[in-house]
Every structure is written in structure tokens, then in C-alpha cells.
Amino acid sequence: MTAGPGRFPRSRDVFAVVAATFMLYVGFTLAFGGSGSKPMILLMELSLIVPALLFIVLGRYPFRQALRLSPVKPGLLAASVPLGLGVGILGDELDRMVQSVVPMPEHILRALKEFMAVDSFAEAALVVLMTVIVAGVVEEMLFRGFLQTSLERSGPPGKAIGVTAAVFAFLHFNPWWTFQIFALGVVLGVLAWRSGSIWPGVVIHGLNNAVSLIFINLDESRLQWYVYRDHVSPVCFIAGLILTYAGLRLFFRITGPAAGTAPGP
């Protein structure tokens, strides 16, 4: 087989690369993660895409197609903003529902808050870079780009989206977030399939993380408008539903028929 625009990696090879990536990530976490160093965690996040990039380059696969980096219309990115806000609100309520039944252990919750908390402008810039920009771009390239694209070439889109979302949720290594992250992964997968690009998902992924970052760093007294009896307030929840519906409707109107994928080699 020769390299060219019609040659793409097999899904089993892509799965092997993703599995190896997270074995390396776990190894790095065990070796360095305990330090709690934000710069080290940023480097670990960046390292997630390195095995996939090496695999694509060494295999001489089409780079932009394999990672789904096609540009999109500005309108799609604009539609991603209300959709991202709405999905973030609904996902937050889903998380609160799960934790009302099975609460997250206090030491894990405290560690997450400490990781996201910022005390200076420099630290805020680092956390934004890490959780909003790098996490959004790298994880969308790896999951909705590298993994989902290969699965779409070997099976139906619905199965590719569901499997990718399940892997995405599992590899966050937080069972209390499984339903929330899986639901987010499904939405991101549908958008990547419809648009043929990861960039709308990057916007939503980054926006979702940005809102979480803001809320964690706000005093609880300033969130009384948003929280009602440890749940998202009814008004905010309805707003989340409206934003999600409006964003999806606008997105589907702009994309028209799904972009789909090219046939496999």
C-alpha cells in the first residue's frame, strides 16, 4: 500500500495506539503526578497526542484527514457557543444527580478543587492553557479525530460515536464523571461526524472546561442564582435545555447532510 490521500489507519491499529498512549499516561502519572505540579500535568496532557502524531507521520497517513482538522464555517463555531453553554449546564446537573446518590469521596473532590484553584494571574493563565486550550485541542484530536474517524471507516457512525464516547469517559479515570463525560462525548462525536471536523468540538470542550474553572474559583455565595438545593436551579436548567436545543438546531441547519467520511483503504 502506498501513502496518499485515500490511505487511512486501521481501527485496530488506532485502538492499539490509544491504549499505549494511556498506559504511558498512567505511568507518567504514577511517576510524576503525585507532585501536583501544574507545569508537569500540562506536559502530560500535551504528551497524549504524541504517539498518534508519530504513528501518522511514520505511517505516512494523510495528517489533516486522520485527525479531522478540516476548517469549518464561522457559523458552526458561533453555533457551538450556545450549545457548549447548554450542554455544560445539563452535564453539571447530571453530575449533581449522580453524586446525590453516590457522593465523590471528599479527598478526591478536594484534590480536584485544589488542582483547578488559582491564586495569581500567572497560575490562572497556566490553568486556562492546560484545561481550556490544550485539553480541548489535544483530546478532540485524539478521540473525535484519530479514534472516531478510524471507527467510522470500518462501521456505522452511531457505533463509532458511542464507542469513542465510552473510551473517552473511561479514560478520564473518574467513575463519578462517567455519565456526564459519556454524554458530552456523544454530543462532540455527533458534531464531528456532521461537520467533518473537530473544531466545533474543540470550542464546546474548551467552553465546558472554562465554565467549570470559573465556578470552582467563585465563592459559593456568588452562585446562589445558579444552585438550588445542591442542584442546578430550575431556571438555569431550563435555560440549558433551550441553549442546547437552539445550538443543535442551528448547527444541523448549517451543516445540512452529514459530511461523513471517505471510504476506507
Nearest-10 crossing angle of helices 74-101, 178-195? 160
Domain ranges of the chain: 68-255
| pLDDT the model gives residue 5 | 52
Total-model pTM: 0.90
The predicted structure's pLDDT at residue 62: 93
**447532510: which residue's cell?**
257
Spell out, as residue ranges, where the chain has pLDDT lower than 70.
1-6, 32-36, 258-265
Partners of 53 in beta bridges: none
pLDDT at position 4: 47
* Segment holding 75, helix H or strand E: helix 74-101
Tens digits of per-residue pLDDT, 152-172?
998 899 999 999 999 999 988
pLDDT for residue 183: 95
User: Do 169 and 233 form a contact (C-beta atoms < 8 A)?
Assistant: no
Angle in degrees, 0-180, between the axes of helices 157-170 and 178-195, rounded to the nearest 10: 140
For residue 198, the SS3 value is coil
- Cell numbers at residue 264, please? 476506507
pLDDT of residue 193: 96
- DSSP letters spanning 96-134: HHHHHHSPPPHHHHHHHHHHH---SHHHHHHHHIIIIII
pLDDT in tens, 24-38: 888 877 776 555 678
